[in-house]
Amino acid sequence: MGESKSVIVFGADGYIGWPMAMHLSKLGYKVVAVDNLSRRSWDLEGGTYSLIPIASMETRVARWKTETGLDIVWRNLDMCDAEALDALVAEFMPEAVIHFAEQRSAPFSMISREHAVRTQVNNIVGNLNLLYSLHSIVPECHLIKLGSMGEYGSPNIDIEEGYITIEHNGRSDTLPFPKVPHSFYHLSKVADSQNIHFASRVWGLRATDLNQGVVYGVQTEETAMHPELFTRFDFDSIWGTALNRFCVQAAVAEPLTIYGRGGQTRGYLDIRDTMACITLTLENPPNMGECRVFNQFTEQFSLNELASVVSAAREKIGLQTDVVHLPNPRVEAEEHYYNPKHTALLDLGLKPHFLSDTLLTSVIEIVEAYKGNVDPVLLEVPSVDWRTGGNEIWEKYANRDAFKFNAEKTAKLVESLRR
């Protein structure tokens, strides 16, 4: 399918990046996996960790070779280093690049000024550097950039796929859909989208901007091959999704905590569907000078609906689940209209998995297997308030004795995988 095309996966140490690198390698692409390992350093800084122990990139790449006979080239590189990025692109001359390499947590970006600045510099500068590298070295390369459905916010109108035709004072034009994001992180993604759109218009670059919903699950065909190929599972209030938190809370017999009234609605998709969406995008590139926008999700749920799905899945195995509502630390509409279009990837051939069919096997059973790694401190009240930041609780995370024990335990588990 992929023959011998060269693809660079930026952010290849991440939750989605590592499974994607393996998936494309298995399809026959020449994969270059690139990351600066900042996600691991942020865990060390903030006292968070993956519920499922993950191996080092060196170990992962070696295990992949052992299991499949296929090579993935691994490079440690920061995209904010323009000179190093240019050298990388010139060395491999990719036909496509897949860009996941961004700080992806809204709560992290709201902790403090320093965290907001770090988020926007990492994301916006790294993305802008990549645009310049592609323009000057491989101008026909297809940029596939992971955006976020959170860029749109929750407007009181239907959300189109990237563009909207507006009639105003007797005139009409098709323009990028207006965006009202809810965090400094999502604002950085909006800036990325504008820069990509500009580069396509002015330089003629080809790009696909994927506004992705919330991804769940950790198992793909490739990650299931060996424990050293596992991807991460975040469950704390900085990095974890509401769905992950709900499943972990239920596993350790704590109530599911919904922030606010629970009407906040978002799009969701299985990690296997993310693999499929990006592969379909890669295999069906846009024209030169075209900036496509796809809304990448398969279903939508409010927080209340999500809690009900988790409760129902657990009832199937004879377990009861309680739900409580907490004050919302975010500034957002807690009841709102939400109707985003998402037909482009379905038209390309996406065959979705659905949460009610796969939640038990893709998340709940895995959480049950690793619930001994849960530090309950990470399930306490939300650690970041949008109005006041979260340094005090962030420091509590980082300095607690319980985490030091878990960090040592996790390190030992990872080390045992290497042997």
pLDDT of residue 389: 84
pLDDT surpassing 50 at residue 7: yes
Range of the domain at 274: 6-418
The whole-angstrom separation of Cα 123 and Cα 99 is 10
Q: Which has more confidence, 393 or 410?
A: 393
Note whether residue 147 is domain-resident: yes
pLDDT number for residue 1: 46
Question: What tokens appear for 177 in the block?
Answer: 């859909």
In a domain, 1, yes or no: no
pTM comes to 0.94
In the predicted structure, residue 357 carries a pLDDT above the cut 60: yes
For residue 347, name the pLDDT band (cuts at 50, 70, 90): very high
Asked whether residue 303 is domain-assigned, the answer is yes
CATH code for the domain of 132: 3.40.50.720
Query: Could you read off the pLDDT of 221-274 as tens digits, one per residue?
Result: 999 999 999 999 999 999 999 999 999 999 999 999 999 999 999 999 999 999
Count of the separate structural domains present in the chain? 1
According to DSSP, the β-strands at 171-176 and 265-270 are unpaired
Strand partners, 264: none
Task: Express each pLDDT in 125-162 by its tens digit.
Answer: 999 999 999 999 999 999 999 999 999 999 999 999 99
Token couple for 156: 């009181």
User: In the Cβ-directed half-sphere of 299, how many Cα atoms lie within 13 Å?
Assistant: 20
Question: For residues 356 and 20, what is the distance between their CA atoms, to the nearest angstrom?
Answer: 24
pLDDT at position 401, please? 61
- The answer on pLDDT for 406 being more than 80 is no
Q: Within a domain: residue 266?
A: yes
pLDDT given at position 408: 57
The lowest-confidence range among 55-59, 246-250, 397-401, 402-406 is: 402-406
| 413: pLDDT strictly greater than 90 | no
Task: Give how far the C-alpha of residue 281 lies from the chain's centroid of Cα atoms, to the nearest Å.
Answer: 17
**pLDDT at residue number 157:** 98
Residue 419 confidence class, pLDDT cut points 50, 70, 90: very low
What is the predicted pLDDT for the residue at 234? Answer: 97
Q: Which spans in 270-361 are helix H?
A: 271-283, 303-315, 344-348, 355-359
d(CA 108, CA 366): 26
pLDDT surpassing 60 at residue 2:
no
